């Protein structure tokens, strides 16, 4: 159902901490122009947990304006299943094309609870669902056994594989073949995931470097692996910024330098400062200075 | 300012998942009758993250009805600082006596962000604050260095020490003397914490066993350590239920058996079932069967 | 200098717990016949820490008899640097072709100590050294910064990359190009490592399945990736046995079923029993039943 | 059988890296004069893994010369059970009074293997055994269930409780009463362990500060807890040096300043240097400057 590069876009704020829809339109458009295949809003990178339900729906609408006929997915990441079901229902009503669902971001659900929570959200929204499995961030794993349980419901169509262990991708393929659309959710494991058979990439640095991200994906798809690997090696110091406690601030700072936007975040986050800021700036500037010529594909 | 046993009470739900204020009144009253010194509502054990702001305020009011002149603290545990400040402000207006504040339950703040988030909440509420430091549950530690920074603001009056490392208690006392009211927040480290100088206990199993909890505290205070240790040793298998992913379900099940209430929880939590339920039931029944005669104090 | 598949062979024992050189000759020969490119003896898989220095030298000699002109490397993995230097010196004298060196298997050395220990062993042996970096097993990491420091000494020629993080391979290539021969040391990350540029594989399951291991390597080298991936997917449940506390017992049991040898181990290890044995046996039997036809290469 | 303060003494080396028996005699004598109740040689702190079997026996003999009728225990900490049994047998023959046994310092034994390895060593030595349970250092835990299994053999008389979790002490007492002599093996949990019922202390900083260590123990034994706590609070920054990767170097540096010896260590360890050395020196000097007057007991 889904395939390709799906940016997990950042949310843009005004100086007085409200949503900046104009700036989001501009930034989202850069993604689509570069050839991205969908948009995921209000994820970790989109500071979803710091947005109200009203705000989330507004971001969905802005993304839809830009995405054209490409799918727009809303991230559902609520502590309580009741609230998760409520926002899923509302997103469906407002025209979202799919949901990316985190099972449980605060409480650490056991296997039965994980499956039950995901099902409750899928049923409430009645939209195609990408299961977001990220045991590092949330300490709740969606294992292949649970995926098998969930496979009975056709609404679960895709997996965002963020276990941080590349081995999991082959386990999923060995177990399910193409039952699920397998997306990698870890920027600096993307080449490896595509090598073993993933068909999608929920990407982070793409918001600052959309053309390079799409190039790697398309070249891999065409079997032009050496060309893709060359770009990937150049890209790695940047992609590493996605695997960090500070991924939001890192990537927003990369956006400042690469697409001339701001790096405002909502508290408790604060923009990078001091040594940490200087380090990230250097990584981004060094990459910009050595930016590779992209092949046509 | 604060001292003694403060139960972190559970929240009671009706069969149709609404707040059951009648049952909460009954259960809270058992705490006060046993000699507890305050009440903390809507913490982890109170399923705070699954309650709306309106519900939290309602629970505060119910607790106040029962607590008489003992302090009622509301737990503030929001992903965004903006929402945390909002509920702090509202709690103050509605008459809460204090706040127990988690710095950041989803994003892992760094040192500056932790301090800034705690300050923002304290300023918004302008109430006495108990700092809730629990690096295991939230992967955000409030270190002694940060406590020193926060000590400049008189609103920070107490620490709920839940680092899971008993050594931290002595570090706090060695650094601050009695600047902060030091509460232990880990049931099965309570005797040890009181031994090295803690003056309060944010307790969990107290909701099912209030008299035994208060007895240990009071005996320790009177220097009757051997008597306290004897009760504590009996109590340990129960207290261990507080240090578990399933602490809410565990303790609610203990309440079922000890104070004849229900163990309804909000999703994604589910009541214990199967082997896990049988194990906890056995622990509680064994403890009830061997329940010690309490000395007068 | 080195490239290809290097089996980390198991050590064979007689019923009365002495070295079984005859059986080792038979098993090592299977490796060479299948096209392996070297042999590494007395590693973790070879129960090195349970062998005396005399025994290690004897195993080196047995391997040399079989290896022909292919290199034989001895693993140096001693708690004390003094003993490490002693065995390195002796191995060189007895004709070993290289050393695979663990910096420090008990004490967790810091960066300076790690570098100093590796240098002391390299100087003592004066043989080409494969640096064995395995932070999971030994909690001592050899980072890229330390590799840079070590690169000044030409004796350090290769890296056995066992960080368990596939990202490290690209970091090494990005930093050093081809200064070091990059070997993957983790069976179930081998395809991924070869995809990003590793040129060698220190292999485990190879001892039971030498032809399949060599096939994957050779097909990758020839750019026949899809064929290699197909075998790798079949191989994964077996390769997973290499990443386990019980890797020695797992792989020796695989050898029992695949090459008709025994699975004797030295205490404190014991052969697998009960449920664990049944599980591994099933994995091996299932794989044998579905064993793929290998393409010629 | 055993009770009181047992120093885990450091091993002293000459400038050319041989054993310095004269200096060991002097240092061990300081321990006995201060009132220690036994000596444990060749433990982690004694750099046991860097000593040959011959050297270990020599250290045992030196300790016996000084210990008079107090027990001398040799630490058995070998990768292979065969070597562990061999040194145990030899120690018994040479007159050691007991053994402190680590189940398996490199391979991570499972429950059956742990029990079997400990039994094999106990049978070989036929001496009273202190079980050394340290899951952090060796990633092998000796759980209360395994202790119950081992309790059938009377040679297992004591436990060095180094799980780093103070809760374990009460679990042992709740399960076994006084079947085992319970020693704490973690300096900065000692007061807490003695508070809940431990009767012994395998101590580290005692080698530099023997009188303070013994004072805490004796005061606790006499119920003079407040006096003990006061010394313990002063002692904590020093005791923290025992819970560190660098415990050997830390404690040897404390010895340099407190009892005028050297801090030579065997490679791969190196003496502390730079910032790390300055930090430890400051801790020791600050403690010496504020050294408390000890009460008579």
Instruction: Say whether the peptide bond before residue C268 is cis (omega within 30 degrees of 0).
Output: yes
Q: What's the distance, Cα to Cα, between the start and end of chain A in Å?
A: 23
Q: How far apart are CA D39 and CA A23, in angstroms?
A: 72
Q: Which residues of C touch D116 (CB under 8 A)?
A: 267-268, 270
Q: Which residues of B touch D238 (CB under 8 A)?
A: none
Q: C-alpha C60: how far from its chain's center?
A: 14
Question: By the CB < 8 Å criterion, does A250 face chain B?
Answer: no
Q: C-alpha D42: how far from its chain's center?
A: 9
> How many contacts, defined by CB atoms under 8 Å, are there between A and B?
79
Burial class for B186, CB neighbours closer than 10 Å (0-12, 13-18, 19+): buried
Instruction: Say whether the peptide bond before residue A268 is cis (omega within 30 degrees of 0).
Output: yes
- The pLDDT-based confidence of C252 (bands split at 50, 70, 90) is very high
Q: Do B174 and D236 touch (CB under 8 A)?
A: yes
Quick: pLDDT tens for B134-164: 999 999 999 999 999 999 999 999 999 999 9
Quick: pLDDT tens for D53-79: 999 999 999 999 999 999 999 999 999
Quick: pLDDT tens for C147-196: 999 999 999 999 999 999 999 999 999 999 999 999 999 999 999 999 99
Q: Which residue has the tokens 């507890």?
A: B36
Percent of chain A with pLDDT over 70: 100
Mutate to test the interface with D, among B161, B167, B176, B226 (most CBs of D within 10 A): B167
For residue D74, the SS3 value is strand
Q: Which residue has the tokens 């840079």?
A: C148
Q: How far apart are CA D253 and CA D270, in angstroms?
A: 12
- When CB atoms are compared, the residue of B105, B108, B268 closest to A113 is B268
Question: Which among C11, C5, C78 is positioned nearest to C41, based on CA atoms?
Answer: C11
Q: How far apart are CA A215 and CA A229, in angstroms?
A: 11
Quick: pLDDT tens for B187-211: 999 999 999 999 999 999 999 999 9
Q: How far apart are CA C282 and CA C237, in angstroms?
A: 10
Give pLDDT, residue D240. Answer: 98
**For residues C263-283, average pLDDT:** 98
Q: Do C167 and A189 touch (CB under 8 A)?
A: yes
Question: Which among A165, A235, A223, A230 is positioned nearest to A194, based on CA atoms?
Answer: A223
Question: By the CB < 8 Å criterion, does D249 face chain C?
Answer: no
**For residues C128-147, average pLDDT:** 96
Q: How far apart are CA C118 and CA C108, in angstroms?
A: 13
Q: How far apart are CA B104 and CA B108, in angstroms?
A: 7
Sign of the Cα pseudo-torsion (B280, B285, B290, B291, in order):
positive
**Cβ under 8 Å to A: B residues 23-62:** 49-50
Run of H or E including A203: strand A200-203
Burial class for A277, CB neighbours closer than 10 Å (0-12, 13-18, 19+): middle
Strand partners, D202: D6
Mean pLDDT over all residues of chain D?
A: 98
Q: Do D268 and C113 touch (CB under 8 A)?
A: yes
For residue C176, the SS3 value is helix
Q: Do C174 and A236 touch (CB under 8 A)?
A: yes
Q: How far is C183 from chain A (nearest CA, A)?
A: 17
Give pLDDT, residue D218. Answer: 98
Strand partners, B5: B201
Q: Which residues of B touch A42 (CB under 8 A)?
A: none
Quick: pLDDT tens for C67-90: 999 999 999 999 999 999 999 999
Give pLDDT, residue B267. Answer: 98
Q: Which residues of A touch B268 (CB under 8 A)?
A: 80-81, 103-104, 107, 109, 113-114, 116-117
List of chains touching A (3+ CB pairs within 8 A):
B, C
CB-based contact C70:C36 (threshold 8 Å) = yes
Give pLDDT, residue C204. Answer: 98
DSSP structure string for chain A: ---EEEEBPPPPB-TTSSB-HHHHHHHHHHHHHHT---EEESSTTTTGGGS-HHHHHHHHHHHHHHHTTS-EEEEE--SSHHHHHHHHHHHHHTT--EEEE-S-SSS---HHHHHHHHHHHHHHH-S-EEEEE-HHHHS----HHHHHHHTTSTTEEEEEE-SS-THHHHHHHHHHTTSSEEEE--GGGHHHHHHHT--EEEESGGGT-HHHHHHHHHHHHTT-HHHHHHHHHHHHHHHGGGSSTTHHHHHHHHHHHHH-------TT-----HHHHHHHHHHHHHHHHTPPPPPP-
Run of H or E including B159: strand B156-161
Q: Do A167 and C174 touch (CB under 8 A)?
A: no
Question: By the CB < 8 Å criterion, does A232 face chain C?
Answer: yes
- The pLDDT-based confidence of D39 (bands split at 50, 70, 90) is very high
Question: Which among D200, D210, D249, D230 is positioned nearest to D100, based on CA atoms?
Answer: D200
Mean pLDDT over all residues of chain C?
A: 98
**For residues A182-198, average pLDDT:** 98
Q: C-alpha C53: how far from its chain's center?
A: 19
Question: By the CB < 8 Å criterion, does D197 face chain B?
Answer: yes
Q: How far apart are CA B5 and CA B2, in angstroms?
A: 9
Q: Which residues of A154-188 are buried (b: 16+ CB within 10 A; e: fewer)?
A: ebbbbbbbbbbbbbbbbbbbeeeeeebbbbbbbbb
Nearest CA in chain C to D108: C245
**For residues C225-253, average pLDDT:** 98
Q: How far apart are CA B236 and CA D168, in angstroms?
A: 11
Q: How far is C260 from chain D (nearest CA, A)?
A: 25
Q: C-alpha D22: how far from its chain's center?
A: 21
Question: By the CB < 8 Å criterion, does C174 face chain A?
Answer: yes
Strand partners, C181: C158
Q: How far is D215 from chain C (nearest CA, A)?
A: 32
Question: Which among B228, B220, B199, B296 is positioned nearest to B2, based on CA atoms?
Answer: B199
Q: Crossing angle, helix B247-259 and helix B274-289, to 10 degrees?
A: 50
Give pLDDT, residue A272. Answer: 98
Q: How far apart are CA D292 and CA D24, in angstroms?
A: 27
Taking CB atoms within 8 Å and a gap of at least 24, the contacts of D20-24 are D21/D58, D21/D62, D23/D261, D23/D262, D24/D59, D24/D62, D24/D63
- When CB atoms are compared, the residue of C104, C245, C270 closest to D268 is C104
The structure's pTM equals 0.97
- When CB atoms are compared, the residue of B80, B109, B114 closest to A266 is B80
- The pLDDT-based confidence of B82 (bands split at 50, 70, 90) is very high
Q: How far apart are CA A62 and CA A94, in angstroms?
A: 12
Question: By the CB < 8 Å criterion, does D17 face chain C?
Answer: yes
Phi and psi, residue A204, nearest 5°: -110, -60
Give pLDDT, residue B285. Answer: 98
CB-based contact D148:D175 (threshold 8 Å) = yes
List of chains touching B (3+ CB pairs within 8 A):
A, D
Token pair of C229 as six digits? 């991936």
CB-based contact A218:A39 (threshold 8 Å) = no
List of chains touching C (3+ CB pairs within 8 A):
A, D
Q: Do D195 and B191 touch (CB under 8 A)?
A: yes
- The pLDDT-based confidence of C65 (bands split at 50, 70, 90) is very high
Nearest CA in chain D to C137: D106
Give pLDDT, residue A225. Answer: 97
Q: Do A195 and C197 touch (CB under 8 A)?
A: no
DSSP structure string for A19-84: B-HHHHHHHHHHHHHHT---EEESSTTTTGGGS-HHHHHHHHHHHHHHHTTS-EEEEE--SSHHHH
Q: Which residue has the tokens 């209000």?
A: A42
Q: How far is A70 from chain B (nearest CA, A)?
A: 30
CA distances from B194 to B7, B133, B217, D202 (A): 16, 18, 8, 24
Q: Which residues of C4-14 are buried (b: 16+ CB within 10 A; e: fewer)?
A: bbbbbbbbbbe
Question: Which among A185, A212, A215 is positioned nearest to A198, based on CA atoms?
Answer: A185
Q: Which residues of C touch A166 (CB under 8 A)?
A: 166, 189, 192
Give pLDDT, residue C141. Answer: 96
Give pLDDT, residue A236. Answer: 98
């Amino acid at each position: 159902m889904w395939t390709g590069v799906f940016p997990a876009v950042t949310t843009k704020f005004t100086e007085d901490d409200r949503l900046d829809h104009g700036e989001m339109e501009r930034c989202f458009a850069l993604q689509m122009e570069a050839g991205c295949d969908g948009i995921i809003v209000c994820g970790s990178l989109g500071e979803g947990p710091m947005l109200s339900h009203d705000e989330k729906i507004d971001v969905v609408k802005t993304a839809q304006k830009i995405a054209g006929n490409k799918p727009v997915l809303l991230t559902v990441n609520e502590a309580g299943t009741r609230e998760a079901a409520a926002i899923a229902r509302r997103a469906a009503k407002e025209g979202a094309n799919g949901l990316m669902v985190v099972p449980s971001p605060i409480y650490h659900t056991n296997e039965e609870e994980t499956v039950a929570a995901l099902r409750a959200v899928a049923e409430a929204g009645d939209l195609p669902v990408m299961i977001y499995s990220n045991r590092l961030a949330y300490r709740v794993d969606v294992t292949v056994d649970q995926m098998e349980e969930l496979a009975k419901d056709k609404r679960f169509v895709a997996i965002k594989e963020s276990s941080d262990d590349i081995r999991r991708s082959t386990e999923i393929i060995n177990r399910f073949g193409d039952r699920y659309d397998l997306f990698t959710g870890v920027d600096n494991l993307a080449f490896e995931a595509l090598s073993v058979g993933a068909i999608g990439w929920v990407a982070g640095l793409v918001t600052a470097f959309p053309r390079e991200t799409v190039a790697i994906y398309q070249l891999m798809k065409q079997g032009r692996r050496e060309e893709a690997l060359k770009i990937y090696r150049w890209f790695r110091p940047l992609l590493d910024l996605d695997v960090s406690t500070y991924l939001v601030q890192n990537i927003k700072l990369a956006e400042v330098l690469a697409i001339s936007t701001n790096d405002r975040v909502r508290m408790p986050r604060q923009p990078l400062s001091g040594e940490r800021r200087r380090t990230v700036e250097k990584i981004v500037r060094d990459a910009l200075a050595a930016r590779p010529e992209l092949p046509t594909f």
